[in-house]
Amino acid sequence: MSRHPKPSTPHSFPHFHPHVTLATLRPAPPPPAKRDETEPAAAAAAAAASFKFSSPLPSYSHGDPDPTMLLAIREAIPLGQSAIRVRFARVLTGDAYFLSIYTALAPSTELAQLRAALVQAAVGDVGPGPAPPAFPHLSLFYVADGEADARVRLLQELEREGVVRHSADGLSVALRCTDGDGAGVLEGFTGTQIWIVDSEGPVEGWKVLDKILLATSDH
């Protein structure tokens, strides 16, 4: 992720913290306005704040975070939730900005259960629905749609250089995180925190709203 080719389109290759995006959410839309509601009140309902949630990078948009929503997210995390081991499955390119070049994760019951609990806290009785394809995932680069072909070229370059090393069976991948061999090669990691982040606007301007520590064997 330290590699940042010179972009030909704004917003390509921004710097951001490595993170697993557990979910991107918006709360259920407000109920239809009653006929006797005044226009300002209806407008306020239509502008009800929405947010995204990612783990470790979630977000809230349209103004200040709703304290009630943030509290619901915190309380949705099981008491004593253990740190979660994440295994990398494959590095892929996608057709969306936030899925430009990303690492798909091996299936994990723990991640799926945690995501479901957090989505439920956000959307309430509407229900979380099925997880979108590629969720959860670990993004490596964000590349603007204006130079989408750079996504494939960069991944091919990383594979040729041995930075991205897919296994022969295609079920796992190792990422070389240093210039040397051996040390610094990751096939996964242990997630010890969940971050709630306001990801409205440019990536490098995202704001961390809260950090929830997960239980580890050291504590």
Statement: residue 12 has pLDDT above 80? yes
CATH entry, 20-213, from 2.40.128, 3.20.20, 3.90.1140, 1.20.1740: 3.90.1140
pLDDT in tens, 120-140: 876 654 444 555 567 789 999
Q: What is the pLDDT of residue 42?
A: 35
Per residue, the 3-state secondary structure of 165-212, as one string, reads EECCCCCCEEEECCCCCCCCEECEEEECEEEEEECCCCHHHCEEEEEE
Give the pLDDT band of residue 53 (cuts 50, 70, 90).
very low
The model's pTM: 0.76
